[in-house]
Amino acid sequence: MLTDITIGQYVHGDSVVHVLDPRIKIIITIILITSLFLIGNFWGFAIFLSFNLVVIKISNLPFKKVLKGLKPIVFLVLLTVILHIFMTRGGEVLFQWKFIRIESEGLYTGTFMASRILLLIMFTSLLTLTTSPLQLTDGIEYILKPLKKIGVPASEISMMMTIALRFIPTLMEEAEKIMKAQKARGADFESGNLIQRAKNLIPLLVPLFISAFRRADELALAMESRCYQGGKKRTRLHIMNINRRDITALILAIALAVVVSFF
């Protein structure tokens, strides 16, 4: 039940997309997302979508999984569409019933915004689906490196992210175990009204927090006893190299961004 959550979960693979340098992938994602906001009409979206589909194809991702990742935002998208359809005014009147009026401008902007959000989530999820969390944080650390000069603790930030990602499944497992233990003592997590349910979560949350703190404490001690220190002079196991493939991908992405921005 709890362990079913799969948003942005890494799918192991060895496609061209998987082996691209994570830094390049992050930069490409940023560039293309920016371009997504510069697109002015549906032709741009169509090109972007076909590019998106091609990337999914060559990275051998199960299409179902990508779609599943869109599930959590369905509500947001629908809300956007509905609000635009009923609120935005302009163009010709398409439908009128008492005070409810739909105008063409609203319909257009609604679908336009929805496509933008959907493409945005779809494309960013490609990054997390094809890049392992470890690579991702490594990449982020590199990109944040220049900010160290102005006092941003880049390596600490990336270490925190790595640890957080690492412990999500562990905490999920723990939560499920505690839930079962309390159920065995007659706890009820499934019925009652909202307030009652929130109250019923206390027997789950208190032990969960305690164990998370204990784990954090133990981990900190274990790291310290191995003389861990972030930042300077740390070498790494996997050294990232940028090669021709990465450069090609980057150029392609920039070209695409320029092209779609003209639409």
Partner 1 sequence: MLIELKNVTHIYDQEQKIKALDDINLEIGEHEFIGIVGHTGSGKTTLVQMFNSLIKPTSGDIYVDGIKTTGKKPDLNHVRQTVGLVFQYPEHQLFEETIYDDVAFGPRNLNLDQEEVDKRVKVALDLVGLEYEDFKDRSPFNLSGGQQRRVAIAGVLAMRPRVLILDEPSAGLDPQGREKLKGLLKRLHQSYNITIILISHRMEEITQLSSRVIVMDHGKIVLNGSPKEVFSHKDKLEKLSLELPEITEILYRLKERGCDIRTDIFTVEEAVDEIINVVGSQNYVN
- Amino acid at site 40: G
Minimum distance, C-beta of residue 186 to partner 1, in the bound complex (Å)? 3
* Residue 86, helix vs strand vs coil: helix
Beta bridge partners of 100: 97
Query: Is 101 or 215 the residue whose CB approaches partner 1 more closely?
Result: 215
Query: Is 43 or 189 the residue whose CB approaches partner 1 more closely?
Result: 189
Residue 79 CA neighbour count, 13 Å, CB half: 5
Query: Is 191 or 193 the residue whose CB approaches partner 1 more closely?
Result: 191
Minimum distance, C-beta of residue 59 to partner 1, in the bound complex (Å)? 20
User: 260, 38 in Cβ contact below 8 A?
Assistant: yes
Minimum distance, C-beta of residue 203 to partner 1, in the bound complex (Å)? 5
Minimum distance, C-beta of residue 166 to partner 1, in the bound complex (Å)? 20
Query: Is 67 or 252 the residue whose CB approaches partner 1 more closely?
Result: 67
Tell me how far apart the alpha carbons of residues 216 and 24 are, in angstroms, rounded to a whole number. Answer: 32
DSSP H helical segments within the chain, as ranges?
16-19, 22-38, 42-58, 63-70, 74-87, 104-130, 133-144, 154-184, 194-200, 202-225, 244-261
Query: Is 202 or 216 the residue whose CB approaches partner 1 more closely?
Result: 202
Minimum distance, C-beta of residue 216 to partner 1, in the bound complex (Å)? 15
- Residues making contact with partner 1 (CB under 8 A): 174, 177-178, 180-188, 202-203, 206-207, 210-211
